[in-house]
Amino acid sequence: MPIKTQRDLPALGILENENIFVMDENRALHQDIRPLKVCILNLMPVKQDTELQLLRALSNTPLQIDVSFLNVSTHISQNTSANHLNKFYTAFDEIKEDRFDGMIITGAPVEQMAFEEVDYWEELCKIMEWTKKNVTSTLHICWGAQAGMYYHYGIEKILLDKKLFGVYPFHVLNRKVPLVRGFDDVFLAPNSRHTTILTEDIKKCPELKILAESEEIGVYLAIAEEGRQIFVMGHPEYDRMTLDNEYKRDIGKGLDIEIPKNYYPGDDPEERPLLQWRAHSNNLYSNWLNYYVYQVTPYDL
């Protein structure tokens, strides 16, 4: 799929080297097609890494995607330069009158805080409320999924005894739902979090349908309102080395962190990690775009 975004976004050069079709604004204007408008609310600390991961994940259908990056204005980023944010990101006040085919709300490193203690929580609530009428389908990732379930359905997260960290197997529960079409019975996905939402609490909510879960760590994928709200508890967009970088960063800080599970061959951190989840990640994002964004969105927003 052609990914359309600003021409000088740093991630584009990497994507082009991977033979992923990237289109700038000038070329897109010469195509007689309405691209899908997708807004990414990027709450991750190193925003360039997440930009690359998500653009790569969105690049596997014939659809043309016009991507906009959104940043909260009530938080000052410590890990991404103001120059990058000013150049490639927009504020909610600048888009709140617009409509989007799809939206992605990423994870964030604030999960050990109560939602109301997060400095941008009020702004995030306004954005999540706005998505109900202005976005065809919203995909929530990791902490973004926990925040979405709390805001929309009042489901509390719980703090885990230790960090849930590694690559875990999940079972598909309902093959009739298009979001998991083409998935294997059991698939792998990365997780990196200190909190979770209990399976029994999700099951108590009649609006939510669980699509994939693990006996070991619980729900991975859930859907509501026929796909208008989708929740992914892990990080399917992660690169091969993301968990490795997180592990070695925490070791360098002197933190008590276990080796990520099912990640390094022989549990040896000196070995190159196996990339075991990319196919299902691509399938998930392609299914989301096809069945919940493209096929149900109106031509004229």
What single DSSP character describes residue 178?
G
pLDDT digits (tens, 9 = 90+) for 253-267: 999 899 999 999 999
SS3 63: coil
The most distant pair of C-alpha atoms in the chain lies apart, rounded to whole Å, by 55
Q: Are 257 and 163 in contact (CB under 8 A)?
A: yes
Question: What one-character DSSP code corresponds to residue 259?
Answer: P
d(CA 152, CA 125): 9
- Between 67-76, 106-115, 199-208, the lowest mean confidence (pLDDT) is in 67-76
Phi, psi for residue 286 in degrees, rounded to 5: -65, -45
Give me the percent of the chain exceeding a pLDDT of 90.
Answer: 75
Q: Which of 263, 247, 259, 242 is nearest to 54 (CA)?
A: 242
Q: What pLDDT score was predicted for residue 8?
A: 67
Query: Using 50, 70 and 90 to split pLDDT, how confident is the model at 28?
Result: very low
The structure tokens listed for 291 are: 């069945």
DSSP 206: T
The residues assigned a catalytic role are 142, 235, 237
pLDDT at 213: 97
Residue count (the chain): 301
In the chain, the percentage of residues whose pLDDT exceeds 70 is 87
Strand pairing partners for 195? 159
In this predicted structure, the answer to whether residue 141 has a pLDDT above a threshold of 50 is: yes
pLDDT in tens, 121-130: 999 999 999 9
CA–CA gap between residue 210 and residue 191 (Å, rounded): 17
Q: Is the entire prediction scored with pTM above 0.85? A: yes
Residue of higher predicted confidence among 88 and 26: 88
**Mean pLDDT confidence for 51-73:** 90
pLDDT at 204: 97
Which single residue is written with the structure tokens 């998505």? 131
By CB atoms closer than 10 A (0-12, 13-18, 19+), residue 4 is buried
Helices (H), 141-277: 143-153, 199-203, 242-252
Here the tokens at position 242 are 């993301």
List the alpha helices (DSSP H) in 114-254: 121-134, 143-153, 199-203, 242-252
Q: What does each C-alpha distance from 67 to 55, 87, 102, 123 come to in angstroms? A: 8, 14, 10, 21
Residue ranges with strand state E in 61-134: 65-70, 89-90, 100-105
